[in-house]
């Protein structure tokens, strides 16, 4: 299926989600974003990176799904992957806690950056429920249609694929993924890694080793959760 030139989304995902792009809510969402830009508002991530999660992790290569809520709303932070920031950007608090759990779980040293692009390229779909946000206004684009679009993506994975790992941190992600059949997929639930909730049981959940053990039990290659040093990621800032 041919992807329209105006859409920067991987063909594998377009073949699954093409009907969504033709629906009224997506037309209204595009009009809303155009109006916001014409009004001089800064929208994150940059347009070319809005579908980065889909472009970095093609539909048939998804192994693990991590659900987030909103892109970061500070300048230079968001690049289309949930919990991830561009190289050189200060680590957000939730990501710091994710790294702490990774270190405890797998013995992997905390990286010197917050760019999760290498995870995405191995099959970890880092999907926010809302794919855009206005600068300095968290949640500004909630309820505009993105949630319906990303629901369609999660439904497609849950129904058309088998043996995936869904990591659902916090009540929002757990509600969004509440329909997933845990007889067909591994569903890992836990508190959100935010400093406001991580102390309620996020630490010690060991999601990384659990995900890899499940993948290996199905004959799949595990995810290499160790991230290369920031110096090796300079290409990311140029390519995405």
Q: Is the peptide bond before 45 cis (omega within 30 degrees of 0)?
A: yes
Active-site residue numbers? 70
Distance CA 228, CA 112 (A): 9
Residue 163 DSSP SS3: coil
- Which parts of the chain have pLDDT scores under 50? 237-240
123: left (phi over 0), alpha (psi -120 to 50) or beta: left
How much of the chain, in percent, has pLDDT values that exceed 70? 95
Look at residue 179 in the predicted model and tell me its pLDDT.
95
- The secondary structure of 90-125 as a DSSP string is PPPHHHHHHHHHHHHHH-PPPPSS---HHHHTTTEE
Q: Say how many C-beta atoms besides its own lie within 10 A of residue 90's C-beta.
A: 12
Look at residue 238 in the predicted model and tell me its pLDDT.
39
């Amino acid at each position: 299926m041919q992807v329209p030139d105006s859409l920067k989304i991987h063909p594998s995902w377009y073949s699954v989600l093409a009907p969504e792009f033709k629906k009224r809510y997506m037309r209204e969402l595009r009009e809303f974003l155009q109006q916001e830009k014409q009004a001089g508002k800064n929208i994150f991530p940059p347009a070319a990176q809005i579908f980065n999660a889909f472009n970095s992790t093609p539909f048939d290569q998804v192994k693990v799904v991590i659900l987030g809520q909103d892109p970061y709303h500070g300048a230079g932070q968001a690049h289309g992957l949930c919990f991830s920031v561009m190289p050189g950007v200060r680590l957000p608090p939730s990501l710091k806690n994710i790294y702490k759990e990774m270190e405890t779980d797998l013995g992997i040293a905390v990286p010197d950056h917050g760019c999760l692009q290498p995870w995405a390229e191995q099959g970890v779909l880092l999907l926010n429920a809302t794919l855009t946000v206005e600068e300095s206004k968290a949640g500004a684009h909630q309820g505009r249609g993105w949630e319906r679009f990303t629901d369609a993506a999660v439904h497609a994975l849950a129904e058309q694929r088998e043996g995936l790992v869904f990591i659902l941190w916090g009540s929002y992600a757990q509600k969004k993924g509440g329909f997933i059949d845990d007889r067909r997929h591994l569903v890992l639930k836990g508190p959100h890694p935010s400093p406001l909730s991580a102390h309620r049981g996020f630490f010690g959940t060991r999601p990384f080793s659990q995900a890899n053990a499940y993948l290996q039990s199905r004959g799949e290659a595990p995810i290499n959760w160790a991230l290369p040093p920031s110096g090796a990621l300079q290409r990311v800032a140029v390519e995405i």
